[in-house]
Amino acid sequence: MIHKNSLALDECTFEEFQTLCGHQDENLRLLKQVFNVDFVIRDNALILDSLDENTTDHLKRTLNGLIRWIKMGKTPDERDIIYLSHCVINNTEESFFKLNSKIIGRTALNKPISIKTLGQQKMMEAMAHYDMVFVSGPAGTGKTYLSVVYAVDLLKKGDIKRIVLTRPIVEAGESLGFLPGEIKEKVDPYLRPLYDGLNDLLGNEQVQKYIEKGTIEIAPMAYMRGRTLEDAFVILDEAQNTTKSQMLMVLTRMGFRTKIIINGDTTQIDLKQDSGFIQALRLLKGKKDIGFVELTPIDIVRNPLVQIVIEAYTKK
C-alpha cells in the first residue's frame, strides 16, 4: 500500500525557498520528472507518496543540496539540478560543490568559468598532465570550449607562443559548392565553434589581433600538412571525421613544447570511410604519456533535452 512520507528539509528563508522552487515552481517540476515521483513542500517539509526508500532519500538529499547551493549565493539552473541529482544517486554530491567552486578561467566580460562535471574535471587534469590527449564524448559535453579555455590560459601565462585550431571539413549532407563566396568564406562556418569559444574568452577585437599576428591560427586540416608545430597548443576538433591518413598527418606535426588535444564524437561520423579517430583510439590506447578521456551524456552541459535525445539515440 502506498503511504505518505513527511521528511524535514534543511532550514531556509522564504527568499531561499522561492529560489529553490524556481519561477512558477519549474525546479520542482523538473525534480518530479527526474525522480518520477509526485511531492509537495510545506512548512520546510518534503511530503511525498512513495514506497521506494531510495527515491525518497535521493530526493531529500537533492533538495537539501540545492538549499546548500542557494545559501552559497548560487541560483540553480536546469543543468545544476539534473547533475546534482546524478551525483546524489551515485553518492558523489560533494564533488558537485567542489567542481562548481573551482574557477578555471574568465570570459572577456570577466564572468567566471567553472568545471561543471566530473568528466570535465578529468579532461582538465589530462590536459595538464599529458602533451597528447584524446577526448571522446557526445555533443554538449564541453570538449571544444574547455580545450580553448585551457589553451587561452597557457597563452596568457606565456607557456605557449600560439594556438592552432583545426578540424576536418566534411560535408554532412550539403555540398560546399552550394555555399557562396571564396574558399575562406566557405570554410569559416565549419570553424564557427572554435571562433565562438575564442570570442567568448578574449573578445572579438583581441581574437582578430591575435589572428593577424599569427598568435592564433584557425584553419582546415589541409593547411597542417608539411609543418612542424612548436611552442603551440593544437586543438583538433570534430576528429571523428578525420581519415586515417589525416589523423596520422596531424599527430606527427607535433614539435617540442607542444600540446595537442584531439576531440571527437564517435556517434557523429560523416565519413564514407573508416574514421582515423577510432583507429587512433584503438592503436594508442594504453600507450605511455598519452591521455584518454571519455565523456558521457551525464557530462552534457547544454539544455537537458540534449541529454535525453542523445541517450535515446544511443539506445536505439
If asked whether residues 38 and 136 sit together in one domain, one would say no
Task: Please give the residue that has the higher pLDDT: either 83 or 309.
Answer: 83
Render pLDDT for 130-165 as a digit per residue (tens, 0 to 9): 999 999 999 889 999 999 999 999 999 999 999 999
Model confidence at 74, in pLDDT bands (50, 70, 90)? confident
Q: What is the overall mean pLDDT for the chain?
A: 86
Domain count, the chain: 2
Amino acid in the structure at residue 178: F
If asked whether residues 156 and 293 sit together in one domain, one would say yes
The pLDDT, as a whole number, for residue 307 is: 67
Distance CA 76, CA 189 (A): 33
Cell 543540496 locates to 65
**Residue 262: how many other CB atoms lie within 10 Å:** 28
**Residue 224, pLDDT above cutoff 90:** no
The residue among 129, 120, 110 whose CA lies nearest residue 147 is: 120
The pLDDT, as a whole number, for residue 267 is: 86
Render pLDDT for 92-131 as a digit per residue (tens, 0 to 9): 888 888 877 678 889 999 988 888 888 999 999 999 999 9
Render pLDDT for 2-56 as a digit per residue (tens, 0 to 9): 456 788 899 999 999 999 999 999 999 999 988 888 999 988 889 887 668 888 9
The pLDDT, as a whole number, for residue 143 is: 94
Residue 42 lies in a domain: yes
If asked whether residues 36 and 137 sit together in one domain, one would say no
The residue among 176, 168, 199, 172 whose CA lies nearest residue 263 is: 168
If asked whether residues 221 and 146 sit together in one domain, one would say yes
Render pLDDT for 260-304 as a digit per residue (tens, 0 to 9): 999 999 988 888 888 999 999 999 998 999 999 999 888 887 666
- Residues 6 or more apart whose CB falls under 8 angstroms from that of 34 comprise 81, 82, 85
Residue 108 lies in a domain: no
If asked whether residues 142 and 92 sit together in one domain, one would say no
If asked whether residues 89 and 165 sit together in one domain, one would say no
If asked whether residues 96 and 135 sit together in one domain, one would say no
If asked whether residues 9 and 91 sit together in one domain, one would say yes
Range of the domain at 210: 118-315
**Residue 174, pLDDT above cutoff 70:** no
- The answer to whether 55 touches 34, Cβ cutoff 8 Å, is no
Q: Among the three residues 68, 101, 134, which one is the final residue of a domain in this structure?
A: 101
If asked whether residues 141 and 97 sit together in one domain, one would say no
Residue 106 lies in a domain: no
